[in-house]
Amino acid sequence: MTDSPLSRRQLLGTAAFAGAAALLPRDLAGQAAAPAPAPAANGFVIVTSANGLEAAKVARQALIQGKDPLDAAIAGVNVAELDPDDVTVGYGGIPNEEGVVELDAAVMDGRTMRAGAVAALTGVKTPSRVARLVMDRTDRVFLVGAGARRFATAHGFPDEDLLTEKTRKIWLHWKNRLSDLDDWIEAARDAEDPDVKRFLEKYGKGLFRPQGTIHLSVRSAKGDLVGVTTTSGLFFKIPGRVGDSPVVGAGLYSENGVGSAGSTGRGEANLVTCGSHTVVEYLRNGLAPEEACLRALKRIAEKTHLVPRHRDDKGRPTFNVNFYCVDAAGRAAGAALWSGGKYVVGDTDGVRTLESAWLYRKDA
């Protein structure tokens, strides 16, 4: 692990973290996989999830052109929202169990401490833009379901079909295989469909029930901190299920002078621990970004012990959560419960993918 300006030894020596030190895994120093990006006090810094490479490029160009950091962040995630090949976000996201695509998104502006969010929104490819309008054009923070849809319609968003031919086939395959006790029957050739095959290869045999998302935080050249998180949520979810992504404090949290953080992964684990807020609180207390993310993940791992069905035979979580954060000085980090994760950083030098730090090695 690259030493941060405030080293781990210094941090753990402070009164604030003397107690927390006991919670750290014994071999924490071996768990960081990526060198922390250099501080960029005079430049902007973008941090985003692994699926945010193109988003980071677009946000970077916008920031170079002098655009507002929240506009730049939203323009970035719009790339993923509009991409039918990203089945975890926006248009072409995996639908709920009834075949309906329900989207969640939130934005937060650390300059004003204002936020906007939508959940279970249907028919809008870019829910992050609707979340921005909730922030800018109402005195409220969070609209859901039919109310969010009507608000989007009022602001000129057409009601579009978000299910692509690819995701319809994937959903139908899932539905047909769900049970032998219902009327839906799988045809032998279904699993031979190239779209279904690719989906099953990528998501079908992992450790975890998949849920993807994109989070993108920006620390502008002026030091302003903003974030956006947007998702189609858990694959084949119960209609109306909302994860952490649109919940301020869980799926994202941005506060000028401290930091901006966001998450991807099992939303329920992050909802009950208010993960992104926890990361920023650790930054406020002096931890370096990577330490802050790892400490918040440790909190999740500890709370997992309270629910046996979420633990494997070694007591480890049977799901993943990833955090991404940037602090007020422009230091960025990404960390996950499980090894193998990646995150993306963009700054004046360019855009690059880095390995996330982690708490548990996947093959151990």
Contact, 280 vs 323, CB < 8 A?
Answer: no
Shortest distance, CB of residue 7 to ligand GLY, whole angstroms?
32
Asked if residues 355 and 33 have their Cβ atoms less than 8 Å apart, the reply is yes
Helices (H), 216-316: 267-271, 275-284, 289-304
Contact, 312 vs 294, CB < 8 A? no
By C-beta, is 37 or 246 nearer to ligand GLY? 246
**Shortest Cβ distance from residue 199 to ligand GLY (Å)?**
18
Candidate list 48, 122, 167, 213, residue with the active-site label? 213
Strand partners, 89: none
Q: Identify whether 153 is a catalytic site residue.
A: no
Cα–Cα distance for residue pair 307/357, rounded to 1 Å? 25
The neighbour count for residue 61, using CB atoms within 10 Å, is 14
Q: Which is nearer to ligand GLY, 126 or 270 (CB)?
A: 270
As a whole number of angstroms, the distance between CA 60 and CA 163 comes to: 30
SS3 at position 101? coil
Binding residues for ligand GLY, per CB under 6 A?
211, 213, 231, 233-234, 243-245, 264-267
Work out how close the CB of 202 gets to ligand GLY at its nearest, in angstroms, rounded to a whole number: 17
Q: Report the residue count for the chain.
A: 364
Residue number, 229 or 256, with CB nearest to ligand GLY: 229
CB 207 within 8 A of CB 339: no
Q: Residue 325 in contact with residue 280, Cβ under 8 Å? A: yes
* 93 vs 116 by CB, closer to ligand GLY: 93
- Compute the least distance from the CB of residue 266 to ligand GLY, in Å: 6
Chain centroid to CA 320: how far?
11
By beta-carbon proximity to ligand GLY, the closer residue of 102 and 281 is 102
Q: Which is nearer to ligand GLY, 48 or 231 (CB)?
A: 231
Distances (CA, A) of 257 to 42, 224, 254: 15, 8, 9
Q: How far is CA 118 from CA 164, 269, 297, in A?
A: 22, 20, 26
C-alpha closest to that of 324 among 227, 232, 206, 189: 227
DSSP 243: -
Smallest distance, ligand GLY to C-beta of residue 12, A: 30
For helices 289-304 and 275-284, the axis angle rounded to 10 degrees is: 140
Task: Report in angstroms how near the CB of residue 244 gets to ligand GLY at its nearest.
Answer: 5
- Which residues are tagged catalytic? 213
